């Protein structure tokens, strides 16, 4: 299960911008899209999560360590703001999740014997398909 971190609103910079794409005259008049900026280095997140966030290979994280999210799916500013915050929380949650280390295992003796037996049977079957000599 992923751990949720509450990001204080004063650490997130949200600005309203005009959305791109089709939408008629309304797109040209109203600023409904949201541009969210979150500075990882200046945040109150735990150090380990900050380091993992900076190491993520995500195009939304700039070289300066600033997360930039643009939300323009909805026609309402409030819905786009909520969507941008949700995406930021998902990104932080993905950095907070640490997978368990994989322990390499060996196949059992029986599994190895079954595999070799199968290979031998298949080999003799294919060998029997050849041309019959004189």
> Any idea where the domains of the chain sit in the sequence?
9-96
Cβ atoms of residues 72 and 33 within 8 Å:
yes
What is the tens place of the pLDDT at every residue in 4-18?
A: 677 888 889 998 888
CB 71 within 8 A of CB 89: no
Question: Nearest CA to 90 among 74, 67, 113, 124?
Answer: 67
Total-model pTM: 0.69
List the beta bridge partners of residue 38. Answer: 12, 67
Terminal alpha carbon distance of the chain: 69
Query: What are 77-99's pLDDT values in tens digits?
Result: 899 999 999 999 999 988 888 88
Tell me which of 2.40.50.140, 3.40.47.10, 3.30.160.20, 3.30.450.40 is the CATH number of domain 9-96: 3.30.160.20
């Amino acid at each position: 299960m992923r751990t949720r971190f509450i990001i204080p609103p004063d650490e997130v910079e949200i600005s309203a911008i005009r959305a791109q794409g089709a939408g008629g005259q309304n797109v040209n008049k109203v600023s409904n899209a949201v541009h969210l900026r979150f500075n990882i280095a200046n945040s109150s997140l735990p150090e380990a999560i900050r380091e993992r966030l900076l190491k993520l290979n995500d195009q939304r994280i700039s070289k300066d360590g600033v997360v930039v999210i643009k939300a323009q799916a909805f026609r309402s500013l409030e819905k786009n703001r909520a969507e941008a915050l949700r995406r930021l929380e998902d990104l932080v949650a993905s950095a907070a999740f640490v997978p368990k280390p994989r322990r390499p295992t060996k196949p059992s003796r029986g599994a190895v014997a079954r595999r070799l037996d199968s290979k031998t049977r298949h080999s003799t079957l294919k060998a029997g398909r050849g041309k019959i000599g004189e």
